[in-house]
Amino acid sequence: MLHFSLIGNLGADAEVKNFSSGDYVTFRVAHNFKEGDKERTQWVSCYLKGSGGKLLDYLKKGASVFVCGRGAARTFSSQITKQFEVGLDIQVDRLELVSTQRKITLEAIKSAMESGEVSWQDVSNMINELPI
C-alpha cells in the first residue's frame, strides 16, 4: 500500500461528487517544490468519503491543507503538453487545515452591515483585534 502525506494549496473550491461507491468531497492540491533551479508544481487529486458538511466552507481555493491517505498513480494525456503524464490520487484518511485565505473585502463588510448580519461595533471589535 502506498501512503502519501502532502502539504499544499487548493487549486479550486472543493466539490461533492457522486460515484457508484457514494458521495466524495473532491479537491486538487498543488505542491510546489524546486527541481534544480526550476520551480515545479505537482498536482494531487484528493477524495474524501462523505458529503463534507461544513468542511466545504473552508476548503476554498488557496486554502493550505495537510492531507494523508492511500495513494495511487495514474497516467493521463495532458491537454497542455500533449504528452502522457503521471497523476497522483489520494484517498484521504486525514485532513488538516493549515490556513485559509478567506479575504474580506470592503464590499462584503458593507453588504453584511446593510443586511444586519453584523453591526459597526462588531466590525470595530474585529479591527481592534488584528495584529499590528
Residues 39-84: pLDDT tens digits? Answer: 988 899 999 999 888 888 889 999 899 999 999 998 988 888 888 8
Query: What are the CA-CA distances from residue 128 to residues 46, 100, 111 (Å)?
Result: 38, 21, 20
Please tell me the predicted confidence (pLDDT) of residue 126.
Answer: 62
Q: Cell triple for residue 30?
A: 498543488
Report the mean per-residue pLDDT for the chain.
Answer: 84
